[in-house]
Chain A
């Protein structure tokens, strides 16, 4: 598992520190032995498909679920057994969970009241938080009178007004439509920089995770598979799951021959940028935008190259997406001699000459742009 140290970690205590955290619900293991450090001031995304345990992990940080095993510290304090009302963290819930019987201002003031902050001091803080999320003038409305985007802002203000040490966000943009979601992504990131609070953000949307966070943790089936910067996870996925889940990729099956060379089932031995133990089944991950297309035989020397035939060309406006069949099916006409067939997806900018289905081509890529991943 490649785990980059949190940026700005320095000598300061990590905001959140988990050691061997597991959570079982009767016979289901929701979270399985997670080790994780999130640095002070970091924007951290927990990414994974639904049911992967990311929300449960977040709920354990919030204190809404109690870990079955493991240690959990927030700024150095062991909090695993603390109830949620004692923890210096706040949550923006998935469907916001705004109190329907309270106004916007009452919702925002709730946490302050519970901590005994009342009077002018509380009013001032509520006003500040309201301004921070640009909801001035809406103070006396009920949540049901607000749009989805406005509700989202109330949920943010209600959490931030408490100056939590860590802000937890559970799919906060999931309920918004695409355009608003993209605007809120930019705004949330700006807000985080503004207030300097550690954000832990749960999402199933890999684009959102890559776009917003300083570091990403990818989860699947209760396990934390990889932690790293968006570029690290995208360019050097640590496992087949991560390669496949983050962005689109071509996974070419094979076996490692030497630590950095893979014999592909479609019949070529190629090298990759990273190393794995020799002799194990593995797959080569090549991103579609890294695949270069050439007319058959015109591929430059040196780079790994496969012959194939275009089976589908899709016009996307700014790019073409081609599907190229390689391997056995084209063995007769080309140089590929593997005993398996595969398809490779390639993406090229429009402007280059369009290729049509049925055309014989060669595909190549730079070894530095590929990763071997184990099963």
Chain B
């Protein structure tokens, strides 16, 4: 059944399709592989191969700027993931199964942070924080951009991603399972705890992993909403690249790559379709 699509295709066309597929895979992977290989280059100069060495990993991990940026990144990623997972899951549940005032408006708005280009979201939040701080200052406290504003901004886009992922899971959810639980003397709350939650848990976990990944990836929004001392790792990498490519950057990038691939694989394993109905 699956090969029917090419059954009627000419031999030459089939070869072209295959060649194109290999070309695309090569295009996607060659730059990454080259980067990883060269990150183990011992040489000072990026283009001269001087034998395998983990030297630049040592340098990178000994760089206090890198370590403090990593710390900021982790704090922001973990806190924004926790908050956005809770809020996003609640939004997904509400949109999926309840009717309430403003449902339509919420349904339309929740997708926008996903499609809006980063730079627009970044300057919107910058203007917002500037105005909010002005307003708060009239009451006394003087606030500035920092780790908190970065985390608050990450939550703003992560809620949407979590909501979309969880909602996709809820779409496949068989509502009669909840009715069965109610019929078997479970209160609404216990139905949720014992039946709904365990069954949508993989979706929530996938949403949380996505939020974590996106938070660790973000450059633009972090760059605009971070004050001094709140530099995240991607922002550090971004500003360093503009001054030129260094072997140390290769090593940091490879580490970030490894972290995000780990998260993707975990997320894919979670989302592997498992039958929810017997």
In the complex, residue of chain B having the shortest beta-carbon distance to the beta carbon of A109: B184
B: number of interface residues (CB 8 Å) = 22
Partner of B278, one of A63, A85, A90, A146: A146
Which residues from chain A contact B87 at a C-beta distance below 8 Å?
Answer: none
Which of A96-104, A236-244, A246-254 lines the interface with chain B?
Answer: A96-104
Contact with A along B161-196 (1 / 0, CB 8 A): 000000000000010110111111111101000110
Partner of A85, one of B174, B182, B198: B182
Residues B180 and A115 in contact, CB atoms below 8 Å apart = no
Is A64 an interface position by the 8 A CB rule?
A: yes
Measured CA separation A114–B193 after assembly (Å): 12
Which residues from chain A contact B121 at a C-beta distance below 8 Å?
Answer: none
Contact with B along A156-177 (1 / 0, CB 8 A): 0011001000000000000000
In the complex, residue of chain A having the shortest beta-carbon distance to the beta carbon of B194: A110
Partner of A100, one of B179, B187, B190, B278: B278
Contact with B along A99-132 (1 / 0, CB 8 A): 1110000000011001100000000000000000
Residues A111 and B179 in contact, CB atoms below 8 Å apart = no
In the complex, residue of chain A having the shortest beta-carbon distance to the beta carbon of B185: A114
Residues B278 and A143 in contact, CB atoms below 8 Å apart = yes
Residues B184 and A162 in contact, CB atoms below 8 Å apart = yes
Residues B185 and A85 in contact, CB atoms below 8 Å apart = yes
Given A100-B275, A100-B278, A101-B198, do A95 and B184 touch, yes or no (CB 8 Å)?
Answer: no
Which residues from chain B contact A162 at a C-beta distance below 8 Å?
Answer: 184-185
Measured CA separation A142–B278 after assembly (Å): 8
Partner of A111, one of B184, B195, B199: B184
Partner of B184, one of A94, A96, A114: A114
Q: How far is the CB of B112 from chain A (nearest CB, A)?
A: 30
Residues A93 and B186 in contact, CB atoms below 8 Å apart = no
Chain B residues in contact with chain A, CB under 8 A? 174, 176-177, 179-188, 190, 194-195, 198-199, 275-278
In the complex, residue of chain B having the shortest beta-carbon distance to the beta carbon of A161: B184
Which residues from chain B contact A99 at a C-beta distance below 8 Å?
Answer: 177, 180-181, 195
Measured CA separation A85–B195 after assembly (Å): 15
A: number of interface residues (CB 8 Å) = 30
Measured CA separation A162–B275 after assembly (Å): 28
Q: How far is the CB of A129 from chain B (nearest CB, A)?
A: 13
Measured CA separation A83–B186 after assembly (Å): 10
Q: How far is the CB of B173 from chain A (nearest CB, A)?
A: 11
Measured CA separation A168–B198 after assembly (Å): 27
Q: How far is the CB of B197 from chain A (nearest CB, A)?
A: 10
Given A85-B185, A162-B185, do A151 and B180 touch, yes or no (CB 8 Å)?
Answer: no
Q: How far is the CB of B191 from chain A (nearest CB, A)?
A: 8
Which residues from chain B contact A97 at a C-beta distance below 8 Å?
Answer: 174, 176-177, 179-180
Partner of B179, one of A84, A144, A158: A84
The 6 closest A-B pairs by CB, nearest first: A143-B278, A111-B184, A97-B180, A114-B185, A84-B182, A97-B176
Which residues from chain A contact B183 at a C-beta distance below 8 Å?
Answer: 62-64, 84-85, 89-91, 159
Q: How far is the CB of A66 from chain B (nearest CB, A)?
A: 13
Q: How far is the CB of A71 from chain B (nearest CB, A)?
A: 21
Partner of A96, one of B181, B188, B198, B278: B278
In the complex, residue of chain B having the shortest beta-carbon distance to the beta carbon of A87: B183
Partner of B180, one of A89, A91, A101: A91
Residues A144 and B278 in contact, CB atoms below 8 Å apart = yes
Identify 11 residue pairs between A and B in the complex whose beta-carbon atoms are under 8 Å apart, listed by A's number.
Answer: A62-B179, A63-B182, A85-B183, A90-B184, A95-B176, A95-B277, A97-B176, A97-B179, A99-B181, A110-B186, A158-B184
